[in-house]
Amino acid sequence: MTSSSAHSRKALSKIACNRLQKELVEWQVNPPTGFKHKVTDNLQRWIIEVNGAPGTLYANETYQLQVDFPEHYPMEAPQVIFIPPSPLHPHIYSNGHICLACPQVHVKGLSTVSAPCVLDNTDILYDSWSPAMTVSSICISILSMLSSSTVKQRPADNDRYVKNCRNGRSPKETRWWFHGSKV
């Protein structure tokens, strides 16, 4: 876990365990297109393989997400980061942190996805988290964000942000400033 709280991470609550087991079963039956859960014996940390959607800048590229679930999931958002090397994207920092303020976008081969941050420019992984969201919905939002990108580049403030995140600061501790929704 990249957070400084990695050593003090509390065990999952019964509600969190039940919810994650339910999501894991659903994932095994109906995984989101372009994603593969790498099975481990740790329910509290999922490693997910992400395959770029065909016809996009990220086609034929594979990345890994690390999803760390807090004690009170789903009432509290999981921490979601790319395991380096992370994709070159205007909303993904080189340390794997993701700023997922996503407008309504269309992913080739997938239906239109609307995220709750459209109106107020907050991040669905943090400020606008809802317990109704699932690992699958997070993954689809991330794939939508990647697929809608028109450029492969880091955020303008990448170096400053990464420098300020040394010592394992969690992206959940970040107050995100949005550069805009067009990429």
158 token code pair = 């990448």
Question: What pTM does this model have?
Answer: 0.79
Query: Number of structural domains, the chain?
Result: 1
Q: Which residue segment(s) compose the domain that 87 sits in?
A: 9-154
Q: Which residues are catalytic?
A: 99
Helix, strand, or coil (residue 146): helix
Which has more pLDDT, 183 or 106? 183
pLDDT tens per residue, range 114-144:
323 333 445 688 778 899 999 999 999 999 9
Integer-rounded Cα Rg, in Å, for the chain is: 15
Residue 3 belongs to some domain of the structure: no
pLDDT tens per residue, range 141-182:
999 999 999 999 998 888 888 888 766 666 665 554 444 444
Long-range interactions of 57-65: CB distance < 8 A, separation 24+: 57/146, 57/149, 57/150, 57/151, 57/152, 58/87, 58/146, 58/147, 58/149, 61/87, 63/87, 64/38, 65/139, 65/142
CA end-to-end span of the chain = 29
Residue 166 belongs to some domain of the structure: no
pLDDT tens per residue, range 5-25:
443 578 999 999 999 999 999
CATH number for the domain harbouring residue 58? 3.10.110.10
